[in-house]
Amino acid sequence: MHISKIFTFRLLPRATLILFSLSSFVILSHSFPPSLHASNNETLRIATYSLNEGGSNLIEDATSLITQSGADVLLLQHVDANTSFLLARHTQMDVAFFLITEEAQGLAVLSKTRIAFDDGQLLGGSENLGGVQRVQIFVGTETLLTLYNVGLGFDQHGTEEITEQSLHETLAIIANDYPNGITGEKVIIGGSSTPLSDLSVVQQIEAIGFLDSFSGFSLENSATVLPPAMQNHVPYLWTRNLQVVAANLIEDSVSDRRIAIIEIQIAAS
């Protein structure tokens, strides 16, 4: 279902948040620790995690997996607003949420470093194929890192055609954000999708300088959803102007989900 207005929500220290729906609103409040910081001043761990439907222990299981991964920044897809805020509180991270559906579902980015800016756009027009969330954080003392968190629509089954269209639209959004091209800016595109047999869109992403952190992984080793799930979701974390020193997948012993994570080199602060 298409929504006529786009909202992004942020939780700041001791801030009050108002969630608007069609006919009502809910006020949520949340407090963070006085200071948030990445776990390491030389490297930064970036992760992507597609929640989809979760069990009764979703918050506890996801919190455990996030903690185990040591992620400094986490890109979440298929997440509702309440879950993203609860995960932020449990992990003591800053959070930005981008609304996709009228049921308060969308995309979220959690960060140990303060989020400096966030916005987002819907994909697919009236078909509402999903959305792309843009978040910027400062790492080190002066380095600005821009992240594009891409998610498919909740009413779709993640077909290859939808995946390709979403990625093409994401590239158009990035091109609009950088009309003179990406030069020295540090950028990451993250999310998960069904495996692509037509690699033309991937080649377009690589043609503008992005590197696939999981390009050497087999489908079995890179899928973020384990059997007996009907469709695998392959994680992608494409980086531009960043040195990736490690890439890995961490399994959750309880659910059928994995968290995909990379470690990037940053200047010491």
The DSSP bridge pattern shows strands 130-139 and 143-152 to be antiparallel
Using pLDDT thresholds of 50, 70 and 90, give the confidence band for residue 10.
low
What number is the average pLDDT over the span 231-253? 84
> What strand order describes the sheet that includes 143-152?
115-123, 130-139, 143-152, 186-193, 234-240, 211-212
Please tell me which residue, 46 or 228, carries the higher pLDDT value: 46
- CATH 3.60.10.10 given to domain 8-265: yes
Kindly state the percentage of the chain with pLDDT values over 70: 69
Give residue 58's pLDDT.
81
- The tokens of 81 are what? 């607003």
Q: Yes or no: say if 19 and 99 are a contact pair by the CB < 8 Å rule.
A: no
Using pLDDT thresholds of 50, 70 and 90, give the confidence band for residue 201.
confident
- The tokens of 48 are what? 């992507």
Give residue 33's pLDDT.
34
**28-54 per-position pLDDT tens digit:** 333 333 334 455 568 999 999 887 655
Q: Does residue 114 register a pLDDT over 60?
A: yes
Q: Domain ranges in the chain?
A: 8-265
Using pLDDT thresholds of 50, 70 and 90, give the confidence band for residue 109.
very high
Q: Does residue 182 register a pLDDT over 60?
A: yes
Give residue 231's pLDDT.
60
Q: Does residue 219 register a pLDDT over 90?
A: no
